[in-house]
Every structure is written in structure tokens, then in C-alpha cells.
């Protein structure tokens, strides 16, 4: 049974593909391998996936309608759409990239998916859609969404497109997953854990925004992937729905930094700064819905997850 995974060379895409391959599924993965961050890291992920005969890769830009036609030769039962232009802050200076990939690209993939005899179309949304001045914890039923960035706005648009298609098309099983601050081995270099670890090891200062008064619902990659796996195989609502996938227990940013220092056995050089544009003070997922409906149970706490990441980082970069 074939599964299409977009953004397969990305952090979440790589781990998701590996999970399905390890469980006996055939994965066709696509990615445009852009240079938003180190392409060598993306290539290293692909090399691991390429060790399996159950993996096929195509270098494809999802915003190119003609380019994605190569996928029409396959018969997919599931589509997991994870490709996107990531980064909240990058969207402020490079808005065009988000319109091209997150809107045009999303529409191209969801339109293509309707050509297949699918069971489910599962796509990545984001906790950023809840935005600023919202009640904590974030609940899927909230309607007063107030996005603080263009990135968040494109994710709201994705959910709206999927909702509308579920109302007017024959195929209706669209499911959006609102991820909360994903971290772990093979993570993105623009994310806090990666940046802090690199800077501390290199005796460089790290920048802490809002003077450290931030809370994040840090969610380990294996827990995120388990949520994707459960929903992809078991979603049967015959309509569009959304789910938070988070740890459900936010921690203070400075506690996160202290754990990094502990496992590196090295103190950070810190510069405190004001809140950045596009950022929010706190994220906290209410995960009752995914727990009740799919038995989702996040297992990895920050102390264990950070330790695993640092072990991977030191091994990959030969420290």
C-alpha cells in the first residue's frame, strides 16, 4: 500500500516516512530541497530513507503544477502533506515564499489527491494559528483565531480550503494536525534547541526573547509521528476535522535552556531581548480530543528529549 509524503526531506517528513517504512508501508516522498536551511542535512535524511527498497523519492516543487504530474502514475491510499515554507520570523521578510508554497502548493497537492482512491488526506497545520490574546490551553473549538504571522495565516487558509473541499467534493476525509513546537534528533537548524545547542558548544551568545518570559509546549518528534501515524490509518469521519498534537505540558523557556546546559555540561552566554514580531508568549495544547478519539499518549518529557537530541547532534557534527 503506497503513501505519498510531501516534504519528506524535512524534519517531520523524514521521521514520518521512516515510521511508515518500518511498519511495512511503501512510501513515495517528494521535496524541493530548497536552501531555507542546510541542504546537506536534508540529503543526509534522504540517504537513510534510501536504504529501504520501500522508499521512492522525487525532487518536486509542489507549487509547480506541471512538476507534480509525475505523481499521477501512482495509486496512493494515503496522502500526508507536510511540505511547507516553515518559520514564523522568516515570513516577515520573505512573504512571497509562503504564498507560493503554503497556499499554491497546498492547493496543488490537495487537488491532486482527489485523483486517487484515497482513504485519508492528512496535512500539517500549526499551533501558530491560535495566535495572540487567546485563552490557554488552546482548544480545537476556538474560533477567535488571531494569527501573529503570515505563516500562521497560511495555515488557517489551508484549514479553510480543506473544510470547503470536504463540503463540495466526493472525497471528504481531510484531517489537519496542529503541531506544537516539535523538537528532537534531525531537527531544523532554525529551531531553538538546535540553535542554542550549536551556540553553547561554540561559545557564542544565545538570544532569549521577551527576557525569558516564554512558555512552550515542546513536543518530541516521536510523539508527533505517533499522532500522525494513528490518525492517518484510523481517521474515518467522512468530513474535515482538526487535532492538536502536543505534549500538553508547557515549560518555561529558561527551564528548557537549563536542561540544554545540563546535558552539555556547559553554561550559555545569554543576551536578553524584547519580544519579536510574529511571536507569542505562550503555547499550550489541549490534547483531550486526540487522546479520546485515537488513544494518543505523548511519552517523551523534555529532559529525555533534549538528551536524545544532544546525543544525536554531537554524533552528527562530531563533537
50-64, 99-113, 120-134: segment of lowest average pLDDT: 120-134
Sign of the CA dihedral with 256 first, then 258, 263, and 266 last: positive
Specify the pairing of strand 2-6 against strand 76-81: parallel
Q: Is the pLDDT of residue 235 over 80?
A: yes
CA distance linking residue 218 with residue 259, whole number of Å: 13
Count CB-CB contacts under 10 A for residue 209.
17
Overall average pLDDT of the 115-135 stretch: 92
Taking residues 218-225, what's their average pLDDT?
A: 98
Give the 3-state secondary structure of residue 3: strand
Return d(Cα 219, Cα 301) in angstroms, integer. Answer: 8
pLDDT confidence of 140, banded at 50, 70, 90? Answer: very high
pLDDT at position 152: 93
Domain ranges of the chain: 2-183+219-248+284-300
Given a cut of 80, whether residue 128 has pLDDT beyond it is yes
Residue 217 pLDDT: 96
Candidates 151, 174, 229, 313; catalytic one: 151
**Model's pTM, two decimal places?**
0.96
* CB-based contacts of 275, cutoff 8 Å, min separation 6: 209, 210, 281
Range of lowest pLDDT (133-137, 207-211, 220-224): 133-137
User: Over the chain, what is the mean pLDDT?
Assistant: 95
pLDDT of residue 16: 98
Confidence of residue 121 (pLDDT cuts 50, 70, 90): very high
Please give the Cα distance from 199 to 75 (Å, whole number): 45
Here the cell at position 261 is 546546559
282 vs 20, which has greater pLDDT?
20
CATH superfamily of 2-183+219-248+284-300: NAD(P)-binding Rossmann-like Domain (3.40.50.720)
Which residue carries 474515518 as its cell?
236
Q: Kindly tell me if the per-residue pLDDT of 110 is higher than 80.
A: yes
Q: What is the pLDDT of residues 274-305, one digit of tens each?
A: 887 767 888 999 999 999 999 999 999 999 99
**Mean of pLDDT values over 43-52:** 98
CA distances from 30 to 11, 59, 61, 69, 90 (A): 13, 6, 8, 12, 23
The beta strands (E) that lie in 189-292 are given as: 205-209, 215-216, 219-220, 241-245, 251-252, 269-273
Q: Is the pLDDT of residue 89 over 80?
A: no
pLDDT in tens, 164-215: 999 999 899 999 999 999 999 999 999 999 999 999 999 999 999 888 888 9
pLDDT for position 281:
83
Widest pairwise Cα distance in the chain: 57
In 3-state terms, what secondary structure has residue 26? Answer: strand
Percent of the chain with pLDDT over 90: 85
Say if CB 70 and CB 113 are below 8 A apart: no
What pLDDT, on a 0 to 100 scale, did the predictor assign at position 251? 95
**Which candidate, 302, 72, 48, places its Cα nearest to that of 186?**
48
Q: What is the pLDDT of residue 166?
A: 95
Task: Give the model confidence (pLDDT) of 260-274 as tens digits.
Answer: 999 999 999 999 988
In the predicted model, is pLDDT for residue 88 greater than 80?
no
- Per DSSP, what are the bridge partners of residue 78? 3, 120
Question: Model confidence at 33, in pLDDT bands (50, 70, 90)?
Answer: very high
Higher per-residue confidence, 175 vs 90: 175
91 pLDDT band, cuts 50/70/90, is confident
Residue 229: active-site member? no
Amino acid at each position: 500500500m503506497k503513501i505519498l509524503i510531501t516534504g519528506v526531506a524535512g524534519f517531520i517528513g523524514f521521521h514520518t516516512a521512516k515510521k511508515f517504512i518500518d511498519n511495512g508501508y511503501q512510501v513515495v516522498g517528494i521535496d524541493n530541497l530548497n536552501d531555507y536551511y542546510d541542504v546537506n542535512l536534508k540529503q543526509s535524511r534522504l540517504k537513510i530513507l534510501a536504504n529501504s527498497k520501500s522508499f521512492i523519492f522525487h525532487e518536486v516543487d509542489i507549487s509547480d503544477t506541471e512538476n507534480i504530474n509525475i505523481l499521477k502514475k501512482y495509486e496512493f491510499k494515503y496522502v500526508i502533506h507536510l511540505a511547507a515554507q516553515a518559520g514564523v520570523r522568516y515570513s516577515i521578510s520573505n512573504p512571497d515564499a509562503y504564498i507560493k508554497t503554503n497556499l499554491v502548493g497546498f492547493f496543488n497537492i490537495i487537488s491532486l489527491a482527489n485523483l486517487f482512491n484515497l482513504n485519508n488526506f492528512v496535512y500539517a497545520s500549526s499551533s501558530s494559528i491560535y495566535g495572540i490574546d487567546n485563552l490557554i490551553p488552546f482548544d480545537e473549538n476556538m474560533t477567535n483565531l488571531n494569527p501573529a504571522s503570515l505563516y500562521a495565516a497560511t495555515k488557517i487558509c489551508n484549514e479553510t480550503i480543506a473544510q470547503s473541499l470536504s463540503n463540495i467534493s466526493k472525497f471528504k476525509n481531510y484531517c489537519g494536525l496542529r503541531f506544537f513546537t516539535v523538537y528532537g534528533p534531525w531537527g531544523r537548524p532554525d529551531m531553538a534547541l538546535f540553535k542554542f545547542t550549536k551556540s553553547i558548544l561554540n561559545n557564542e551568545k544565545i538570544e532569549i526573547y521577551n527576557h525569558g518570559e516564554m512558555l512552550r509546549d515542546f513536543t518530541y518528534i516521536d510523539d508527533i509521528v505517533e499522532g500522525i501515524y494513528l490518525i492517518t490509518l484510523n481517521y474515518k469521519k467522512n468530513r474535515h476535522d482538526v487535532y492538536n498534537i502536543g505534549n500538553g505540558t508547557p515549560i518555561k523557556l529558561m527551564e528548557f535552556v537549563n536542561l540544554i546546559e545540563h546535558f552539555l555540561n556547559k553554561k550559555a552566554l545569554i543576551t536578553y531581548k524584547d519580544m519579536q514580531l510574529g511571536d507569542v508568549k505562550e503555547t499550550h495544547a489541549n490534547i483531550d480530543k486526540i487522546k479520546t478519539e485515537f488513544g494518543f499518549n505523548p511519552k517523551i518529557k523534555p529532559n529525555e528529549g533534549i538528551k536524545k537530541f544532544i546525543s544525536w547532534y554531537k554524533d552528527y557534527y562530531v563533537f
